[in-house]
Amino acid sequence: MDNKVNAVKLLVTGGAGYIGSHTVASLLTNGHDVTILDDLSNSTASSIRGIEQVSGRSPHLVVGDIRDGECLDRILRGGDFGGVLHFAGLKAVGESVRHPARYYSVNVGGSIELLAAMRRHNVRRLVFSSSATVYDTEAEMPLQESSPSGHPGHAYGRSKQMVEQILTDEVGSDPSLAVAVLRYFNPVGAHPEAALGEAPTGTPNNLVPYIAQVAAGIRPYLEVYGGDYPTPDGTGMRDYVHVMDLARGHVLALDFLCAHGGLHKWNLGAGRAYSVLEVVKAFELARGQQIPYRITGRRPGDAASYWADVGKAARELRWTPQYTLEDMVRHAWAWQQVLARRV
């Protein structure tokens, strides 16, 4: 259930994307006014219709690049922006290995451009989309916000670490800037009304969208990357969190910044891990049919198992995830059926 808070005028970068669109719907439902800046490089304007359908309100969409300072000026010049939620970025780990400069340009360069524009227009609150990829996944579990940083073997992970460092330095130099760094674990699922969800182009990189395409008959079987991990069933384990829970986390983080200011880091995960085969099993139950799979070799760079300690978000934001794994896969499947009808 969303709570009413004082309405704030917000810029949401990447608000047409997967996590951004669910969050925009939540922000609008909570009475905030939203301008989205998105270049639609990994989304379409159809997510705006989905946002309108579930929230009954319309965000203002500006199609543009976060690295375009003049575009940011045109938006922020209107004044009165109470904050920015910064989702825009590139997120495919493998692609970041092939095109590192592109990832640093968008993820790091884009964040720097945004921070400069926020300074020019005196916008003093920022919620940033970080990732569990910043952690050392060999550290003691569950991962806390104070757990050691890792050394990600890809530009994507390093770009998130760099932006976190830049934000820490910015707040250090200007304590009037308030920043929430949200470290997502594995976001999955879709809006319960199947009006919003993830629409991967090409072959999905991530487990749940891949399973959904197998379930829909688009792909013949799932490759399970590794059956010899030191986990109960030998397959990798992750902390899957419903995108609706993430969206609510952003509303609460913004609320917290409005009340307290400062720099804060919060894990957003479910606080427990499921194996690949447990996710497959849950999907089979949701779909009522078997998901064909083959166990293959490990995917390079994958950790065996990690999950979040979400106690800090529970204590400080009063955020606890409400959706179960069963909800996550049921909603992912309902959304996959909507996507299939669109083709």
What does the binding site for ligand NAD look like in residue numbers (CB under 6 A)? Answer: 14, 16-20, 38-43, 65-67, 87-91, 106, 110, 129, 131, 184, 187
What is the smallest separation between the CB atom of 75 and ligand UFG, expressed in angstroms? 27
Active site residue 306: no
Nearest C-alpha neighbor of 186 from the set 297, 278, 288: 278
Toward ligand NAD, which CB reaches closer, 176 or 201? 201
State the Cα angle at 328 between 325 and 332, rounded to 5°. 145
By CB under 6 A, tell whether 242 contacts ligand UFG: no
Instruction: Count other Cβ atoms within 10 Å, centred on residue 262.
Output: 12
Residue 114 φ/ψ, nearest 5 degrees? -65, -45
- Determine the size of the site formed for ligand UFG (CB under 6 A): 20
Figure out which of the listed residues 168, 206, 231, 320 binds ligand UFG, where binding follows CB under 6 A. Answer: 206
Residue 288 to residues 81, 85, 291, 335, 336, Cα–Cα distance (Å) = 47, 38, 10, 16, 15
What is the smallest separation between the CB atom of 289 and ligand NAD, expressed in angstroms? 26
Figure out which of the listed residues 127, 132, 180, 317 binds ligand UFG, where binding follows CB under 6 A. Answer: 132
With CB cut-offs between 5 and 8 Å by kind, which of ligand NAD, ligand UFG, none does residue 293 bind?
none
Q: Which of residues 262-281 bind ligand UFG (CB under 6 A)?
A: 276
With CB cut-offs between 5 and 8 Å by kind, which of ligand NAD, ligand UFG, none does residue 142 bind?
none
By CB under 6 A, tell whether 144 contacts ligand UFG: no
* Side-by-side strand order, sheet with 263-268: 60-63, 33-38, 9-13, 81-86, 125-131, 178-184, 263-268
Provide the sign of the torsion angle of the four alpha carbons 133, 137, 142, 145, taken in this order. Answer: negative
269 contacts 132 by C-beta, under 8 angstroms: yes
With CB cut-offs between 5 and 8 Å by kind, which of ligand NAD, ligand UFG, none does residue 38 bind?
ligand NAD
Q: Which of 104, 156, 274, 306 is catalytic?
A: 156
| β partners of residue 326 | none
104 contacts 29 by C-beta, under 8 angstroms: no
Residues engaged in binding ligand UFG (CB under 6 A): 91, 93, 131-133, 185-186, 205-207, 210, 222-225, 236, 238, 276, 299, 302
